[in-house]
Structure formats: C-alpha cells, structure tokens
Amino acid sequence: MDSKSTTYITAAVVTIAAGLAVYAVYFDYKRRNDVEFRKKLKKEKKRVQKAVAESKQSELADSTSEITPASLREVLKQVREEPGPQSPEEKEQYFMNQVSIGEQLAAQGPKFYLPAATAFFRALRVYPAPVELIVIYEKTIIPPVFKLIMELSQLDVSNPTSPHFDTTSLDGQDTSPIRGPPSEASSQEWDKVTDPAGGISLGGERKDGRGIAVKYRIEAYFDNFPPKGKNVSVVIREVTPGQGNRHILVADKDFAAGEVIYKEFPVVTALDPDLQEKETHCDQCLRPIQAGMSIQASPESSPLKLSYCSKACMLASKSQHHSLLFTLDPALPPEIPSAPATPELQEARREAQAKLAEHITKERRLVPLLVARFIARQVAFETQKLAQATAPGTTFAAPEADYTDSDNKSEKYVLADHIERLRYLETVPNKDEFKLLRDVLAAALPGLEEFISDDKYATLCGKMAYNAFGVCFGGGRDDRPVPDARPENIEKTRTPYGTQRQIGSALYTVSSYLTHSCQPSARPSFSSGTSEISIIANKDIKKGDVLTVAFVDVAQHPDETVIECRRRRRFELARGWRFSCNCERCVEEAATMTAAEKSSAPEDQKDESKVESSVDKYTMAPKDDVE
C-alpha cells in the first residue's frame, strides 16, 4: 500500500478512537437500560435473520449473484429514494440500526455483502463526520464489503449530502477539494503530487472497472494547516543533509527583528508539580495568580489539588479534562441517557483516580499528565458533539478561557488529526503507568479503555516529550526543585531558558513544527502572561525562511568556553531530542576546535562520542511522517 496513504489513513484513527468509543459506550448503555431500544434491536435481528433465510433458499436459483455496476446503481437509486431520518434522534437511531444490520449481514457470507454494504452506506449518509466513519469502516469491516461501500459512495456524487466525495469525469474540472481516504485497492493507484508550497497532496485517477473514470483528490492536511493568518507554513525539506526530509515551519512573509510572527494557544498544559498545590499559578492558563484574582480551587474530592486564576479557567479545566480524570461527575453530558453510577462503581473510580494522582505527584513528571489530559480532552469533545446531536439546540459555548483553536467546531480537523502528525520519541511503553490511566478511563466510561493500547500510550508520551515547550515568564524562575531522576530520565521541554527554569509544560500544534538551531531565527515568549505562546523574530526574516528556536539554553555562560557551551547544549539536545545538532554555529565552532581541545578531556571526549552514539542509536527516531 502506498505509504503516504497509509500515513493518511492511520492519521485519522486516533481521532476516531474517542468518538467510536463514545458511540460504543452509548450503544451499550442504551442496550442495557432502554427497553424500547432493546425491543427494536431484537426486531431488527429477526428481520435480518428472516432475510438471510429467504435468500439462502433462493440461492440455488440465483447462482449468478455477481455485483454489477447496474446493481450498484439500482441500490443507490433505492437508497436515495428512501425517506431518510429527519431529526437528530431519528438519525442516530437509524445510524445505530444500519450499522448493526450491516454487521450482521456481513457475517453471513459473500451473498450478503451488497445488502451489508448498503446498510453501512445508509449509516454513512447520516453520519455527521463521514470521513471519520470511513476510516472506522476501513479498520473494522471486511475488505470486500468496504470496497462496495466505497463504490456506492463514489457513485453517490451528485448528492449534495455527500460533499466528501467528489468525482468528475477525466476531462472535467476538478472541483472543490475533498478529503477522504481511498480504499486500499484504489490507493495503490494514487499519484503523489507535490504542490508548489512543498506540501504533499494525494490524488489521482483510476478507472473504476466499469469504464467510469473517476478522479480524486485528497486535500492535504498541510493545505489547511497551519490556519491561514498564522503567517507561517509547514513545508517538507531536508534540513540536515543526509538526514531525510521532514516537516518544518517557514515564514509566509517578511518580518523585522523583534516582530511577533504569530501567537498560539496550547492544546494541553500542565503546571510543574511543585507549583500545583501552591496557589501561585493557574493550572489551566498557567498565569501567575495575583492579588485580586478570584482564585478557584478544584473540588474537595479531587485527588489533585489545583488552583485557577478565574472561574472561566476552572470551568474550562473541568470541561476539558478534569471532570473525567479527577472527579466523580458523570462522564457523559446529561443529554445522553446513562445508568446512574452505583456506589461501588463510584468507589472504584475514586480509587483509580487517587492512584493515578499519586503516581503523577510522586514521579514529578508532566508527560503522563499531559497525555491523560489530551485523551480526556478528546473524549470530552466527542461526548459534547454526541450530546449536541442527541439534544439539538444545546450549545456548548466554550467557556471564556477555553480558547484553543482546536475547539473551534467548524475546524476541519480535530485534536487527534494534529497530534497524529507530530514527530515523537520512541519510548518503551511504561505498562504500569499506562494501567493507571487505563483504569481511570475504564472507571469513567466503561469500554473507553479498549481504544488505547500501551503502544499508543507510549507514542503519545513520545509526542509530548518531543514537542512540549517549557512555559517561562520573564526569563524563568530559580526555585524549581532539581529532579532527582537519572539525567536521561529527566524531562526536557523546549525553552531557551532551560527546562529547569520553567513553571509548566504546554503542547502547541503549529509550534511543534519549529526546529532547533543554536543560532535561532526566532524565540518563544509568553508576553500575554499566560501559556499563549508568541513566536518573535530574532532577526530580520524573509518570506520562505526557516523558523527555528532554541530547544535548550544556547547562550554561552560566563564560566564556559565556546567549546564547553557547544558540548553542553549538544549533549542536552541529544538527551532530550536524540539528534546531533548540525546547525551553522555548531559546524563553525567545531572548525575552530584545536586538536588539543578535541583530545584535552578524555571524560568529555567520551561524552561527545556518547552524544554521537546515542544519536546513532536513534537514527530512526524521532519518528516523522515524512520519508
């Protein structure tokens, strides 16, 4: 399979995980608690069984059951003429029924592939996020049925309710761009098109076997990201000769030294553990708490004691992640009917949360908290979307402080789309730690834990570790406790002041594409007084120039020689991000090193070679999606 398409398809899978889980959980609640729903399911099952029996009888008479283009068109015509469900409730019910029918039919053998595909296709037509659903289908439905669904979708072109599939005749104009993963069969025939901006689009043409020439184009993610108006683009370049292509950030226009290039809100943040109980900083926006602010505390029952600068921040934290992770509040919005939790279940939930909180506090690492919050945030987003579908008219106005770009419901991509594409450090899954989180998720929404494996967890940890920035105000602080972990286990965040001076960690989508240089063209600043990051030009920048920041403290300290400074920062980079810096400054400084300097300190010499060997060891890491 074309590797680009593979990337594309897997890219959307995490996204779905949360959404699908919620559906599954909801379905399960309904089945257990809603008599009507159960009856309906039973009736559907009977209907399917009857249809199956009937058609088995006629099987002999009808031995040529080949699926022809005509039969597909016939099916399509029929489906289009059916009165579809109208209200969101009806749509949801219809969706559930059709998926359930499709599953049962598909299990009956090839004879039932077309009816099965028809049912899945019906579900697809009413699903609010058809592209996401196709990805779920692609992973969960047997290939012949999936292929039929895709063919039906592709035939269904003139239907305005299927905007995600756009097929035009070969000589026709490619109309509005679409975003939809191809079926496995067709993806092999997709051409790679490199667009002028350096982004890669997937697109191509193929004959569909029935003489209908179909043209596709998948809108490349990087056509839409970073959002317009951020003044930057992601392009693919070989930054270091011989090290392969990767995604990097370039300026979209000229900037003078000192100018703000763009600002960005984080996707997820975590305050340093030593500050969590101190009421010095807001746990949500990381703002220093000052006299006069209406300090809010997390609920008494919460095992992590957190403070917020305002009610808005408290509510944002609650709705994004805190409620799911560290409270006994129902995990589903009230619009979604669910069984009341029994005291036993509540106790189990409390216990799981206490254990996770204890681990986070004891370990003094922020990555596990960032990952837990990231997952919780996805779940919260999906449940709210579902509640909206269930109870139309309900609006989930984001609380004032809930301001990340990713929460914009009209955004094309969800959080996971962004995160899925980020580079990460390969790490060994920490199974014990994963279990703590898994237990918390399972206790909140039974079934949810099925959607995250320890490998996936390790990848998410690797993404946070590689991409998180250290939030430092005014040059950072001096009183951060020195971690007692082994040096290679100490967390590192991107900050030119050094992680040891930060007050917390934060993950950003656009800024994750900033690359390191020891002579950076830009710098992060938190001049808004919160975790909102501003990227500021260090020098005059021309349109198309690569934007770099320093991941570590690259300034030469008074007690350091040029060579010592070089060694220190390269060592930190190798430890934190596993690469050997080949920036201009590093190369120039190496040229000035005398033979004596190179061999003067055997211990350091060893260090330097350790840097190189640790880099060698990870030539494949950090992982990127560009080959």
Ligand X SMILES: *[C@@H]1O[C@H](CO)[C@@H](O)[C@H](O)[C@H]1NC(C)=O
Q: Where along the sequence are the contacts to ligand X (CB under 6 A)?
A: 229-231, 260, 262-263, 408, 410-411
What's the CA gap between 56 and 62, in Å, rounded?
A: 10
- List the alpha helices (DSSP H) in 3-68: 3-11, 13-33, 35-57
Q: How far is the CB of 470 from Zn ion (least distance, A)?
A: 18
Q: How far is the CB of 341 from ligand X (least distance, A)?
A: 34
Which of Zn ion, ligand X, none has residue 263 at its interface (CB below 5 to 8 Å by kind)? ligand X
Which of Zn ion, ligand X, none has residue 285 at its interface (CB below 5 to 8 Å by kind)? Zn ion
Structure tokens at 382: 């999906």
Q: How far is the CB of 401 from Zn ion (least distance, A)?
A: 6
What's the CA gap between 239 and 547, in Å, rounded?
A: 11
Q: How far is the CB of 410 from ligand X (least distance, A)?
A: 4
Q: How far is the CB of 509 from ligand X (least distance, A)?
A: 13
Which of ligand X, Zn ion, none has residue 230 at its interface (CB below 5 to 8 Å by kind)? ligand X
Residues whose CB falls within 8 Å of the CB of residue 272, separated by 6 or more in sequence, listed in order: 366, 480, 502, 503, 504, 505
457: nearest Cα among 439, 435, 440? 435
167 vs 511, beta carbon nearer ligand X: 511
Which of ligand X, Zn ion, none has residue 246 at its interface (CB below 5 to 8 Å by kind)? none
Check if the beta carbon of residue 401 is closer than 8 Å to that of residue 284.
yes
Please report, as ranges, the residues that interact with Zn ion according to CB under 5 A: 282, 284-285, 287, 309, 313, 518, 581, 583, 586
216: nearest Cα among 154, 267, 131? 154
Which of Zn ion, ligand X, none has residue 247 at its interface (CB below 5 to 8 Å by kind)? none
CA atoms within 13 A on the CB side of 351: 7
Which of ligand X, Zn ion, none has residue 87 at its interface (CB below 5 to 8 Å by kind)? none
Which of Zn ion, ligand X, none has residue 436 at its interface (CB below 5 to 8 Å by kind)? none
Check if the beta carbon of residue 437 is closer than 8 Å to that of residue 375.
yes
CA 91 to chain centre: 27
DSSP-derived 3-state class of residue 250? strand
How far apart, in Å, are the Cα atoms of 216 and each of 124, 182, 208? Answer: 19, 9, 12
- The amino acid at residue 76 is L
Residues whose CB falls within 8 Å of the CB of residue 192, separated by 6 or more in sequence, listed in order: 2, 4, 200, 201, 202
135 vs 309, beta carbon nearer Zn ion: 309
367 vs 535, beta carbon nearer ligand X: 535
301 vs 408, beta carbon nearer ligand X: 408
Please calculate the CA angle 484-579-457 and round it to the nearest 5 degrees: 65
Q: SS3 string of 479-519?
A: CCCCCCCCHHHCCCCECCCCHHHCCEEEECCHHHHCEECCC
Check if the beta carbon of residue 271 is closer than 8 Å to that of residue 309.
no
Structure tokens at 513: 């594409």
What's the CA gap between 520 and 522, in Å, rounded?
A: 5
Structure tokens at 254: 């000229």
Q: How far is the CB of 201 from ligand X (least distance, A)?
A: 20
Q: How far is the CB of 395 from ligand X (least distance, A)?
A: 13
Residues whose CB falls within 8 Å of the CB of residue 381, separated by 6 or more in sequence, listed in order: 18, 407, 414, 415
- List the alpha helices (DSSP H) in 58-196: 69-81, 88-106, 113-126, 130-140, 143-155, 184-187
Which of ligand X, Zn ion, none has residue 309 at its interface (CB below 5 to 8 Å by kind)? Zn ion
Which of ligand X, Zn ion, none has residue 583 at its interface (CB below 5 to 8 Å by kind)? Zn ion
What's the CA gap between 508 and 525, in Å, rounded?
A: 13
208 vs 411, beta carbon nearer ligand X: 411
160 vs 229, beta carbon nearer ligand X: 229
Within 10 angstroms of residue 446's Cβ, the number of other Cβ atoms is 16
Which of ligand X, Zn ion, none has residue 518 at its interface (CB below 5 to 8 Å by kind)? Zn ion
Residues whose CB falls within 8 Å of the CB of residue 439, separated by 6 or more in sequence, listed in order: 352, 355, 356, 449
259 vs 589, beta carbon nearer ligand X: 259
Which H or E run contains 390?
helix 367-390
Q: How far is the CB of 535 from ligand X (least distance, A)?
A: 8
Which of Zn ion, ligand X, none has residue 231 at its interface (CB below 5 to 8 Å by kind)? ligand X
Which of ligand X, Zn ion, none has residue 262 at its interface (CB below 5 to 8 Å by kind)? ligand X
What's the CA gap between 153 and 166, in Å, rounded?
A: 10
355 vs 412, beta carbon nearer ligand X: 412
Q: How far is the CB of 549 from ligand X (least distance, A)?
A: 16
Q: How far is the CB of 536 from ligand X (least distance, A)?
A: 10
Which of ligand X, Zn ion, none has residue 322 at its interface (CB below 5 to 8 Å by kind)? none
Please calculate the CA angle 590-612-522 and round it to the nearest 5 degrees: 60
Q: How far is the CB of 520 from Zn ion (least distance, A)?
A: 10
390 vs 527, beta carbon nearer ligand X: 527
411 vs 604, beta carbon nearer ligand X: 411
Which of Zn ion, ligand X, none has residue 332 at its interface (CB below 5 to 8 Å by kind)? none
230 vs 373, beta carbon nearer ligand X: 230
Check if the beta carbon of residue 271 is closer than 8 Å to that of residue 298.
no
DSSP 192: E
Q: How far is the CB of 164 from ligand X (least distance, A)?
A: 17
330 vs 529, beta carbon nearer Zn ion: 529
Check if the beta carbon of residue 176 is closer than 8 Å to that of residue 164.
no
Check if the beta carbon of residue 390 is closer than 8 Å to that of residue 336.
yes
406 vs 580, beta carbon nearer ligand X: 406
Q: How far is the CB of 132 from ligand X (least distance, A)?
A: 18
191 vs 616, beta carbon nearer Zn ion: 616
Q: How far is the CB of 261 from ligand X (least distance, A)?
A: 7
